[in-house]
Amino acid sequence: MSEEKKKKYRYAKVAKKGWLYPNADKREGDNKPDYRGKIVGLEVENLKPLVDEEGHASLSISGWVEEDQRGDKRIGLSVQSMEESDAPAVGEGEAPF
């Protein structure tokens, strides 16, 4: 019985940093997002080779719970491009950057 091959990806950082904070405007039962934030320093030139014929690009986003300079909890984001590759696959639980 052959094992199904796991897709292999090559990752490259495409943004300087990003954050998500709990949405202070969120009320129970409304449709507002649970978190709000931003991605800064997105390197658009690095995305152009990733855009498909429909004009879409896929990115990988990883996040860690952390505290900002004021001690407020947030989710720090890392944004990477994600291309299929012949390189060895990143192991489960390993950071892809």
The string of pLDDT tens digits covering residues 48-86 is 888 889 999 888 999 999 999 999 999 999 999 887 777
Beta strand 59-67 with 9-13: parallel, antiparallel or unpaired? unpaired
Instruction: List the domain range (segments joined by +) for residue 78.
Output: 9-84
Across the chain, which distance is largest between two alpha carbons, in Å? 55
Residue 47: predicted pLDDT: 86
Residue 97 located in a structural domain:
no
Residue 96: per-residue pLDDT: 52
Residue 66 lies in a domain: yes
Q: Give a yes or no: residue 73 inside a domain.
A: yes
Domain count, the chain: 1
Half-sphere exposure of 62 (CA within 13 A, CB side): 13
What distance in Å separates the CA atoms of residue 84 and residue 89, rounded to the nearest whole number? 10
Q: Distance between CA 23 and CA 45 in Å, rounded?
A: 31
What local confidence, expressed as pLDDT, does residue 87 receive?
A: 54
pLDDT of residue 90: 47
Q: What is the pLDDT of residues 16-53, one digit of tens each?
A: 999 999 999 999 999 999 999 999 999 888 888 888 89
